[in-house]
Amino acid sequence: MSRLLKKNINITPELTNFITGFRFISETMHFIAYILDNHQRIIAVSNEFTSEFSITNKILLIGKLLTETDLPLLQFYQDNHEIISQQNLQVLSDKKHHIFFEIMDIDKFSHLYITHKYPIIVDDESIGIYVYMRPFSLQRYSDLAFCSYAKKEYCIRPWTGKYELTSKQLLVLFLFLRNYSYTEISSWLSAFGMTMSSSRVNEHLENLKIQFGAKNKAELKKKATLAGFPSLMPRGFLKSGSYLIDDYLILLKGHTQYPIVSHSVLAARLSFNVNSIASYHHDDNELISYIDAFINYYKNTDDAAYLTTYDGGTVLAKTSAYASIEDSYNVFIRSNRNHFLNTEQGSFLDILKLENECKIFVRTVIQITTITKQKLILVNCRPFHTVNIPRIMVNIFKIFSFPTTKINQKYKITGKQHMVLFFYARNYSASEVASIMTMLGHKMSLTTVNEHLKKIKLQLGISTQQQLLDAALIIAYDLIPSGLLNSGSHHLTGTNIENWIV
C-alpha cells in the first residue's frame, strides 16, 4: 500500500480488505478488472487487465485517472472521458450496480465488453468502484442447441490464422455468417452508412471463397465459422463508446409451456442484489484467509459463487445469489451424477430441465492449491443474463425500427412450430431448418417445415415472408424451445458461448 500512500490516496481498512479479496478472486478467475477510489483514481488492477491492454507495468496506472494514461490501447478512455466520468459518478451517487456496453475500436475490429461497475459501500457511503469487464460477442442462440448436442456447428473463439481480409470483406462476411441474403447484406450496410450493391456483395463473397479455399458458399460458411469469424465484430458497425444497458438485459431460458399463446420480446428490467455471504467456522488459519478473501470480494457483487473443499464435502462459503439457485442445482447434480464432475476445471454450459422450466447457466470451476498443498474448488455460476440486441439496435444505436407487423394476438404456437420459428427468426432457409432439425434428432422434411410455416402464417393472420420474419423476431427471439436443448453439463472449451452472458 506504500505506493498508494505516496500518491496521497486514502486507503481505508475496508478498501484494503476488498483489494485483498480482489487480488485473490481476479487472479484465480482471470477477471479483467480494476478498482477506483471515490475520486476515480486507479488503486488496483488485475493481471488480466494489464494483459488485455498490453500494459507492461501496472504501477504506471496506480494513482491516475484512466483518462490520464497515454497507453495506445487505453485511448478509448481519453476519447470518452466525459461520458465515462459521468457514469462513474452515477454509480457512486446511486450506490447501485450498473452495467455498460463498451465498444473499443482497435485495428480492423471493435472489441466489445460488458462492463459491470459496483459501488464499494461502507457505512452507507460509496468509497470506491469495482469495475469488472467481460469480453462480449453478439450471440448466436442456435449455437446453444448445437453445443448441447455436441454438434461442431457453433462459434469458436476467434482465430483468424492466415486469413487477411479487407475491412469491407469483414463486413460482408459478418452478415453472411448470420444467414443474410445478398440483398439483405446490401440493405444492412446501407443502414450502417455504407453503400454496397447486392452484385458487389456477391463479388466479395466470390473472392472470400477463393481466400478460404471453399468450393461453395456452404463450405465458406463452415470454414469461416471454424476460424472464429462469427465472434468478431468488424470495425464500423457500431459507434465506439460506453452505453448504459441496465434496461436492455434478458434472462435466457428454455421454453417448456406450449402452446405459446402470446409473448413480447420486451423483457422486464432485471434486478441484481448485492450478496450476503454464508461462511462456516474453521480452525485452519490458512483456510480462514481464503474464506475471508472470498467474503471481502463477493459481498460487493451479485455473483452466484461458492468455495468448497476439493472433495465437495465442506462448503466453506457461499453467496446469497448461489443460495437462491442451490436447490435447483442440487436436483440437476443428482439427475446428472454419472456425467457431472463438480471438481473438473473449466467452463460449462449447464442446462437444467426441471418441472415446467428449463434453466441455462454458465458455470466456471477453478481448482486452487494452497501453500500447504490443500486443494479447494471455487465455483462461479452465472444465469444466462444477456443483452437484448434488437432493443439496443433500435433504442441506443437507432439502426432500425422494431417490426410493426400486426399479428393476431389469439395465436397458438405449438412446440414443433416454435422450433421451426426459432431458426427461421435467425434467417435460416426452410431447407436449412429441415437439415438442422434432423441433425438435432427432430427428423423433419422440407415439406413439413413449409407446412409449419404456412400454418404459423394462418395463425398469425399474415401473408408475406417479411411479415413472417417480423413475427418470428417478435415471438421467438429470446425464447429457446427446450426441445432444442440437451439437458446436462456441456464443456465450453474452445467455444465463444461464455462471452454472450453479462
pLDDT tens digits for range 46-67: 999 999 999 988 888 999 998 8
User: What pLDDT was estimated at residue 268?
Assistant: 42
Q: pTM (2 decimals)?
A: 0.89
pLDDT at 330 over 70: yes
* β-bridge partners, 272: none
Contact call for residues 394 and 403 (beta carbons, < 8 A): no
When the pLDDT of each residue in the chain is averaged and rounded to a whole number, the result is: 85
pLDDT at 24 over 50: yes
For residues 13-24, give the mean pLDDT.
88
pLDDT at 250 over 60: yes
Between the ranges 138-152, 414-428, 434-448, where is the mean pLDDT highest? 434-448
Per-residue confidence band for 470, with pLDDT thresholds at 50, 70 and 90: confident
Measure Cα distances from 140 to 133, 154, 221, 230, 231 in Å.
Answer: 21, 8, 14, 9, 9
Distance separating alpha carbons of residues 145 and 143, to the nearest angstrom? 5
User: What pLDDT was estimated at residue 5?
Assistant: 43
pLDDT at 264 over 60: no
Exposed/middle/buried for residue 334 (C-beta within 10 Å: 0-12, 13-18, 19+): exposed
Cell matching residue 151:
454438434
User: What pLDDT was estimated at residue 267?
Assistant: 46
Distance separating alpha carbons of residues 251 and 384, to the nearest angstrom? 6
User: What pLDDT was estimated at residue 114?
Assistant: 96
Phi, psi for 195 (deg, rounded to 5): -85, 130
DSSP letter, residue 124? T
User: What pLDDT was estimated at residue 211?
Assistant: 92
User: What pLDDT was estimated at residue 257?
Assistant: 82
pLDDT at 269 over 70: no
Between 173 and 465, where is the model more confident? 173
pLDDT at 10 over 50: yes
The domains of the chain, with CATH numbers, are 2-136 (3.30.450.20), 138-143+154-238 (1.10.10.10), 277-387+486-495 (3.30.450)
pLDDT at 433 over 60: yes
Phi, psi for 249 (deg, rounded to 5): -115, 150
pLDDT one-digit tens code per residue, 190-212: 877 788 888 999 999 999 999 99
Q: Which has the minimum average pLDDT: 300-309, 400-409, 491-500?
A: 400-409
pLDDT at 4 over 70: no
**Number of residues assigned to the chain:** 502
Exposed/middle/buried for residue 451 (C-beta within 10 Å: 0-12, 13-18, 19+): middle
User: What pLDDT was estimated at residue 442?
Assistant: 93
pLDDT at 404 over 90: no
For residues 128-156, give the mean pLDDT.
85
pLDDT at 86 over 80: yes
β-strands 346-354, 109-122 pairing: unpaired
CA-based nearest residue to 208, from 173, 158, 159, 167: 173
Cα 126 to its chain centre, rounded Å, is 28
For residues 309-329, give the mean pLDDT.
84
DSSP letter, residue 463? -
pLDDT one-digit tens code per residue, 343-373: 788 899 999 887 778 889 999 999 998 888 8
User: What pLDDT was estimated at residue 225?
Assistant: 83
User: What pLDDT was estimated at residue 156?
Assistant: 65
Contact call for residues 108 and 170 (beta carbons, < 8 A): yes
Query: What does 423-434 look like in DSSP terms, one character per residue?
Result: HHTTT--HHHHH
User: What pLDDT was estimated at residue 1?
Assistant: 46
Neighbours of 471 (CB within 10 A): 26
